Structure formats: structure tokens, C-alpha cells
Amino acid sequence: MGRISWNQYFMAQSYLLKSRSTCERLAVGAVVVRDKRMIAGGYNGSVTGGVHCIDEGCYVVGGHCVRTIHAEMNALLQCSKFGVATDGAEIYVTHFPCIHCTKAIIQAGIKAVYYSEDYKNDPYAIELLQQAGVRTKKVLLQVDPVHYEQQQLVSELLEELESQGHSGLDGWKKKADRLFHVPTEQKS
């Protein structure tokens, strides 16, 4: 049984954080990573102590909800709040960052942006990222943590049966692989 890749590991975290979002328009999660360690995370929500979009409805101006601080900004501001350097770090976001977050990401010295879902990918943001030499990579989330544990359990059961001398398990293995869509991306 292979371990999940670093990309899947960090992207799965950003999806977990996204589930704390308080905005009804779009839920986003972000994780800042340095040397393969998560140093901060955020989701889009109101300023501390403010009312939530989920309670009061979004505060929309010019087609955007202006109440929330975006996930990427929350993650970077967490670093500034606690004095953690972001220079040379990477960021994992569930959605392609908006132009404002993109500028903050570049200015914070982030060197790579991994995103899972396209979201109105701003051409100017793409241009700025390229100019700044920030790598961008689309990483589709293939691992759901619970799903992964189920996959592990089935795999262990099959290995146990095999070690006890049961034969003819190939059909079951194939069925398990089909059910869990086993990703082959490992060891990155």
C-alpha cells in the first residue's frame, strides 16, 4: 500500500479547512507549506468577531462578497500575526486565487501555488505569477481521508487473506481498485 503523495496530503488539508468557510457564495481553503510542513492555514470568512454570511447573507458589492477575508489572505495573515516567515514557502489552495490574493502571495515570497479547481482564473494574475517566477500547478484532489482509510482496510484484509494462503483473490483486488480508483501518483 503506497502512502499518499505530498501534493495530495496538502491539498486534502486545504479541502478540510474549506469546510469551515462561512461565506455562502464560495468556500475556499488554503494551506501554507514550508519544507513539507504546514505552517498556516485559512478559509474564507469574516473578520474575527464579525457577523457571518451564513447568518446574515453575503454583503455583495460589485458582484463580490466583501465581508470575507479570502482563505489565502487568512493563511498569510496568520503567519504575520504569529511571526512566521513565508519567504520561499508554497501554498495549496482549493481554488485558483483571485488577483488580490495573487499579489499578496507573490509579495509574501511564496514560490509555488498548487490549486485544485479553476475559478475565473484571472489572466492578469497568471501574468503576474509568471513574471514573478511563481510556479503554478493544478493538483486534482484524488484522496478523501475517509475514503483512503476504507481503501487501506480493504487492502489490508486482502493481504491478510493472501498471507493465510487464500488464492483466487485477483478478482477481488481488481474490484477494490475499481471501487477506490487507486491513484498511481506516489512518492513525490
Asked if 12 touches Zn ion (CB under 5 A), the answer is no
58 is an interface residue for Zn ion by CB under 5 A: yes
Burial category of 128 from C-beta neighbours within 10 Å (exposed 0-12, middle 13-18, buried 19 and up)? middle
Residue 65 touches Zn ion, criterion: CB under 5 A = yes
Asked if residue 113 binds Zn ion (CB under 5 A), the reply is no
Is position 76 an interface residue for Zn ion (rule: CB under 5 A)? Answer: no
Q: State the minimum distance, in angstroms, from the CB of residue 100 to Zn ion.
A: 5
C-alpha cell at 127: 501574468
Q: How many residues bind Zn ion (CB under 5 A)?
A: 7
Range 171-185 burial, b when 16+ CB lie within 10 A, else e = eeeeebeeebeeeee
Q: Does 18 bind Zn ion (CB under 5 A)?
A: no
According to CB under 5 A, which one of 27, 31, 40, 53 is a site residue for Zn ion?
A: 53
Nearest alpha carbon to residue 17 among 32, 29, 7: 29
- Name the catalytic one among 72, 156, 160, 185: 72
Q: Say if residues 112 and 135 touch (Cβ distance below 8 Å).
A: yes
Helix (H), strand (E), coil (C) string for 172-183 = HHHHHHHHHCCC
Could you say which residues in the range 146-175 bind Zn ion, by CB under 5 A?
none
**Piece of 49-57, 106-114, 122-130, 141-149 that binds Zn ion (CB under 5 A):** 49-57
User: Annotated catalytic, 24?
Assistant: no
Asked whether the beta carbons of 102 and 128 are under 8 A apart, the reply is: yes
CA end-to-end span of the chain: 15
Binding range to Zn ion, per CB under 5 A, among 11-19, 66-74, 107-115, 174-182: 66-74
Residues 26 and 160: their CA atoms lie apart, in Å, by: 44
Q: Restricting to residues 81-110, which ones interact with Zn ion according to CB under 5 A?
A: 98, 101
The residue type of 37 is R
- Residue 129 in the binding site for Zn ion (CB under 5 A): no
Residues making contact with Zn ion (CB under 5 A): 23, 53, 58, 65, 70, 98, 101
The residues annotated as belonging to the active site are 72
